[in-house]
Amino acid sequence: MARTRVLIAGAAGRDFHNFNLVYRDRPECEVVAFTATQIPNIDGRKYPPELAGSLYPEGIPILPESALEQLVREHEIDDVVFAYSDVTHEHVMHVGSRALAAGASYRLISPRETNASGRPQEFEMTSATWWSTA
Per-residue pLDDT of the chain (134 residues), as tens digits, is 789 999 999 866 778 888 999 999 999 999 999 998 767 667 678 999 999 999 999 999 999 999 999 999 999 999 999 998 778 889 899 999 999 999 999 999 988 887 766 554 444 444 344 333 33
Q: How many beta carbons lie within 10 A of that of residue 84, not counting itself?
A: 20
**Domain residue limits, the chain:** 14-56
Dihedral pair phi/psi, residue 81, rounded to 5° = -110, 120
How far is 47 from 16, CA to CA, in rounded Å?
A: 8
Interatomic CA distance for residues 84 and 38, integer angstroms:
9
